[in-house]
Amino acid sequence: MRMTSHAAIRSLKSTVILPIVALVAVTACDKDKPPEPAEIAVHMSEHFSRAADLQRAVVNGDMEAVEGTANWLAEHSKMSGAPASWDPYLAEMRAAAEVAAKSPDLYTAAKATARVGAACGDCHKGHGATVKFSIDGALAEGGDTEAHMNRHVWASARLWEGLVVPSAEVWQTGAKALDEVPLVPEEVTDDDELMTEMQLAANRVHELGAGARQALDPDMRAATYGELLATCSRCHRATGAGQI
C-alpha cells in the first residue's frame, strides 16, 4: 500500500511546478521607441520562465543549473527603449541573481532565488505594473502523499506569484495552503532514518506556512520563500525524489 501512493506521486512528474504565463504576440524591438506593452510582456515571460527554471534547479539541488539560469538573469541586458526608472530595480534583480549564481551551497542559492522574486515585485510595484498569472486547477484535496505534494506545489506557486506581482492577498492564499496538516512520511517509506528526515522537513514546511502568514513585507516574504525552497530541496535529496 505504501508504495502505491509513492508511485501515484511519480505519475505527477510531468506536472509543471510553476504557473505558466499566457504569452502575447511578439513584435520586434525598435531601439528608438519606448517598448510597447506587448513587447514588455514577451520580455517578461522570458524573465518569468528563467526564474521558474531557477526555482526548479534549486528544488532539484542542481547547482550547475542554478548557476546557468541565475547567470542568465544576472547578465541579460535591459530591454531596449526601457526607461531609466527601470535601472535601480534591474540592478537589484541582477544582484540577487548573481548571489544565486555564485552560491557556495544550496541554502544560499534558495535564499537568493527568493530575493530575485522580490526584486521582480519591487519593479512592478514601483511602476504600477499589472502582472497576471494563470495557475491551473484548484487546490488538491485529500490526505495522501500525492495530494499533499500537489498542495505544496500549488501553494509555493501562489507564494511565488505573491512575491512577483506583488500581492499580499495571493501570498496569503499560498501561506494558508501550506499551513496545514503535515505530510505523513509513513506513506512514503519504511526506513526509520529516512522517515525522521522527512518528518523534519514536513514539519518545517508546515512551520514555514504558519510563518508565511505573518510575513507582511517583501523582505520577510522572500526570507520565508527561500527557506521553503531549501526545505523542498532537502526532502527531495533525502528521499531521492528525482528531478522535477
Alpha-carbon gap, residue 119 to 130, rounded angstroms: 15
**Toward ligand HEC, which CB reaches closer, 137 or 242?**
242
User: In the set 44, 58, 163, 215, which binds ligand HEC (CB under 6 A)?
Assistant: 44
Which residues have a Cβ under 8 Å from the Cβ of 50 and sit 6 or more positions away?
69, 72, 73
Stretch that binds ligand HEC, among 13-21, 61-69, 99-107, 214-222 (CB under 6 A): 13-21
**2 scored as a contact of ligand HEC (CB under 6 A):** no
Radius of gyration over alpha carbons of the chain, in Å? 18
* Number of residues located near ligand HEC, criterion CB under 6 A: 50
d(CA 132, CA 184): 34
User: Measured between alpha carbons, how far is 111 from 167 in angstroms, rounded to an integer?
Assistant: 20
**Please, are residues 174 and 215 in contact by the beta-carbon 8 Å criterion?**
no
- Contact region with ligand HEC (CB under 6 A), list: 60-68, 104-112, 123-131, 213-221: 123-131
- Location of C-alpha cell 495530494: 147
In angstroms, what is the minimal distance from the CB of 180 to ligand HEC?
Answer: 12
Which span sits near ligand HEC by CB under 6 A: 17-25, 64-72, 99-107, 166-174?
A: 17-25
Provide, rounded to whole angstroms, the least separation between the CB of residue 53 and ligand HEC: 11
Does 149 sit near ligand HEC (CB under 6 A)?
yes
54 binds ligand HEC (CB under 6 A): no
Q: What CA–CA distance (Å, rounded) separates 137 from 42? A: 24
**Closest to 50 measured CA to CA, from 25, 32, 34, 67:** 67
Compute the Cα dihedral for 164, 168, 173, 174 and give only its sign.
positive
Q: Nearer to ligand HEC by C-beta: 63 or 184? A: 184
Q: Which residue has 544582484 as its cell numbers?
A: 95
Task: Point out which residues bind ligand HEC (CB under 6 A).
Answer: 6, 9-10, 12-13, 15, 17, 21, 24, 37, 40-41, 44, 47-48, 51, 59, 86, 89-90, 93, 116, 119-120, 123-124, 127, 129-131, 149, 152-153, 156, 164, 183, 188, 198, 201-202, 205, 228, 231-232, 235-236, 239, 241-242, 244
